[in-house]
Amino acid sequence: MLDIVENILKVAKSLFDLAGDIGKESQQKKEKIATLLEQISDCLAATSAAVRQGGIPHGECGKLITYADELPRLLTGHVDAAKAQALGDLLRSSYAVERLAGALASMSDREPHLAKLDEASGKFRAMAQLLRANP
């Protein structure tokens, strides 16, 4: 269950590795990618906040699946289609953030896992900001 956090972080880090390729997109496409990355970031931040408050992030699983399905379509172009699909698939395999929240809620050492989720959220948001800052 905790591999969900690791996989989400892998997607975020992989996108940073592809920043040069994604940065070659048109400004309109970069804006669409940036918006999607912010939505992913918001989803992860909401999940982390809900767990810290002792709740379950209802609805975030559905959002993450939708974002995972959209990611390859937006990345394909300057990013290799197979790589784009692999990132979408990895994110999709990690959609179960509600179950993750349930698992983390009962853990006494959950903070390191939440910190990684926060790190991933920050990386998605930072990538979005970089795309917008470099026309």
> What are the tens digits of pLDDT across the range 88-107?
999 999 988 888 888 888 88
The mean pLDDT of 104-117, rounded to a whole number, is: 90
Task: Tell me the CA distances in angstroms from 30 to 15, 35, 128, one per residue in order.
Answer: 13, 9, 8
Q: Give the total number of structural domains in the chain.
A: 1
Per residue in 13-61, pLDDT (tens digit) is 999 898 888 888 888 999 999 999 999 999 999 999 998 998 889 999 9
**Per-residue confidence band for 9, with pLDDT thresholds at 50, 70 and 90:** very high
What is the model's pLDDT at position 85?
95
| Host domain of residue 106 | 3-133
